[in-house]
Structures are given as structure tokens and as C-alpha cells.
Amino acid sequence: MTALDNDREDRAGAYRRRLDASTRSFAYSYQFADLRREAGRASYKLLTAQMPAMWEISSDLISALNGVRLCGSVQVIDAAEKLVTAAGNLDLNERKADRFQLKAEAVVADQKAFLDTCREELSYNARWYQLLRKRKEKRFLRQLAAD
């Protein structure tokens, strides 16, 4: 196994951890919000007891983001940060199910975008990828600066 293979496996592991953390966070948030909306005040004691788990999940989400920031390309980091922003925009106190569903769909779309970006970034096979990757990064950064 070469150093390039190790580097690629490290990135793939960080990306997998990020996907797992975002999936767990999203599922927990969805369940939390749904229970609060459907059960109302009757759910308060149960939800209060679940807060430590929610904090742990949030910590894992940020930790996984930092893992991606450590080894990911700029495109992957940008997609990961957008996913965290979308997850943070989920209002667990939203009383209208359709509004919450729209934000939940945005999280799912951002998670798919992150996954697609990771797949593209990990799909190289030849050594010349470094040159191509740097060009893509420069183009991407110019596009971000222009927006």
C-alpha cells in the first residue's frame, strides 16, 4: 500500500465519519422535533432527559467536521460546512410540520451533495491527480470569491 492509498483511506474514513455523524444527528433531531410537536407538553420530561445525548451527538457532528477540515479538499470542506449549517437550521421547536419538513429536506439535499462531492474527490486513480485537483481547487476558490 502506498502513501497515496493511505492518504485516500484517511480521507475516506473522515468522510464516512462525517456522514455517519450527520445521519445520526439528523435522525435524532427529526425524532426530537416530531415528538415535541405531536406530544406537546407531555414530552418535556422525556426530551429534557434526552438533552445530554443531543449534546453528545452535536459534539460528534462538530468533531467529524473538524476531521474533514483536517484532510479534505476545499470542495469537500465547503460541502461539509454547508451540511452543518443546514443541520443547524433545523428548528426543533417548529410547530408547523410542513415548515420543518422543508428544512429537513434541505439537510437531506446537503447530505447528498456532500456525499457526491466526496465520491468525486476520492475517485482519482493516477498520480497526475494532484495537478488536476489543485486546478479544481483554485477554480472553486475563485468562484467562491466571486459569489
pTM of the predicted model, to two decimals? 0.76
Chain centroid to CA 19: how far?
6
Assess contact for 22 and 61: CB atoms under 8 A.
yes
**Which band of pLDDT confidence, cut at 50, 70 and 90, is reported for residue 125?**
very low
Is 90 exceeded by the pLDDT of residue 2?
no
**Amino acid letter for position 76:** V
Percent of the chain with pLDDT over 70: 91
Cα 99 from Cα 135, distance rounded (Å): 40
**Amino acid letter for position 36:** R
CB atoms within 10 A of CB 118: 24
Cα 73 from Cα 75, distance rounded (Å): 5
